[in-house]
Amino acid sequence: MAYFCQARTRNVLALTSSWTPPKRHFGTNSARASGHSSLPFIVGDASSARHPRLGDRYLEQSRLQTSASSSYSTRLFSSPLNIDSNANAIEVDPYSDEARQNLSKLYDSLSTTSTSDVLTEVIDTDVDKAHKSLLKLTEQVLQWNQRLNLVSRKDCTASVVYHRHVLPSVALLPLIVPLLVQEREQQQYDDDSNEKKQTLNVVDVGTGGGFPGLPLALLLPRVQFTLVDSVQKKLVAVSEMASELDISNVRIYCGRVEEMYASSDGRREHYKQYDIVLGRSVTALPRFCAWVSDLLKCNEKEEGRLIYIIGGDLEEVVQSHIQSDTPIDSLLKREAGTSDKRALVFSAQSVQEIAKESGEKVNIVRNGGGQGRQKNQGSPVKSEGKKLAKGEWSKKRNDVKKERGYDDFKRYEF
């Protein structure tokens, strides 16, 4: 027995002498698992950051550090290279030169829409500046996502946010910039007239964490964006991110989209006042069309458009009204298979027809009156003749059959 105890003691001492503490890694779980990280400091949590913005001092520290691999951005959140989002494609590191070159391909495709002079008036063609701004937006989303669930927290890294949320939003530029160019050319043609046409009005319905509206507003400073969502805490984060990035062409609306044009003030400000409605997998398309059909301009001079990002199959009532159907990968000029999403474009007239043919229009409840689905009023004999006051109970009537939910109710006693 003594020999056995001595042997066990020698083994424990041998293991203890050879053990070394593991190295401390910072960044994402993927970076810790791989045993390397590019972060030289710890990113603080919400409690250590200055309110109301998260991590201001860490952002300031990151700006003072320069990266040897990139001259236009500092990596704030570590991102593992070559994340396999789909089986057919490999995503590149958003901080790499390859990511900047891929964004440059998208900007090169915009040059075919018009001359360079007109294009520079509607969009900033500096690719390096745009890439740096998008990376800052990515870092802001990652910071706020530690506190709020803006995007899915599963494998939430810089690469995931950049490739699955930011870039699909930027992919809508080839669909919006031609409209801006057309508007600008029309303004030059009508310079002699005293009437000046306002810039494009764009509304992003169901923006959530700010997609696709916030990245587009960052790159299109001459377009007015309205971001709509019913979750107030998400809009607070979106507003703070816009303020941090100096985006001045964004306003937010907290509430349901049906309520935007219900009141008299709302009808004057929002009813048929938008050139473009944006959406990204908010709900079924027929229901979405019923929500936004009263927001789009639809007259002899102007007709708005709905641009909707979606994946999967479409309803039959939608397929016959599609104006254009373009995969996101094709818009971004990258390898097919990286994303299964595509961008659909509908005219305002088609949106109204989809809402009418699907029957979703009659299901909308508006606070400002109008025909819609009535709220549950309880018993049908609750208000006969005299209108009940608020909180008042109706008089009990024994001649009316009770609504039990089933017929032939019998009570058995034992």
Q: What is the mean pLDDT of residues 281-308?
A: 94
| Residue 325 bridge partners (DSSP) | 344
Residue 376 lies in a domain: no
Residue 76 domain-assigned (yes or no): no
**Going by C-beta distance under 8 Å and a sequence separation of 6 or more, which residues neighbour residue 48?**
none
**Residue 261 and residue 239: Cα distance in Å, rounded?**
22
Per-residue model confidence as pLDDT tens digits over 313-322: 999 999 999 9
Maximum distance among all alpha carbons in the chain? 107
| Cβ neighbours around 269 below 10 Å, total | 13
Is residue 8 included in any domain, yes or no?
no
Does residue 58 sit within a domain? no
CB atoms under 10 Å from CB of 299, counted, come to: 9
**CA nearest to 228, candidates 278, 171, 167, 170:** 278
Query: How do residues 215-257 score in pLDDT, each as one tens digit?
Result: 999 999 999 999 999 999 999 999 999 999 999 999 999 999 9
DSSP helix, strand, coil percent of the chain (3-state; round to 5): 40, 10, 50
pLDDT digits (tens, 9 = 90+) for 30-46: 433 444 333 332 233 33
Q: Parallel, antiparallel, or unpaired for β 89-91 and 83-86? A: antiparallel
Q: What is the pLDDT of residues 119-155, one digit of tens each?
A: 888 898 899 999 999 999 999 999 999 999 999 888 7
Alpha-carbon torsion angle 182, 188, 193, 197, nearest 10? 40
DSSP string, 284-320: -HHHHHHHHTTTB-BSSS-B-EEEEEE-S---HHHHT
Residue 85 lies in a domain: yes
Nearest Cα neighbor of 291 from 378, 204, 221 is 204
8 Å CB contact between 351 and 292: yes
Does residue 105 sit within a domain? yes
pLDDT given at position 192: 52
* Structural domain range at position 347: 66-71+81-189+197-363
Q: Is residue 116 part of a domain?
A: yes
Contact between residue 25 and residue 37 where contact means Cβ atoms under 8 Å apart: yes
Domains of the chain: total: 1
Confidence of residue 374 (pLDDT cuts 50, 70, 90): very low
Provide mean pLDDT across the span 323-328.
Answer: 96
Task: Check which CATH number belongs to the domain holding 326 and give it.
Answer: 3.40.50.150
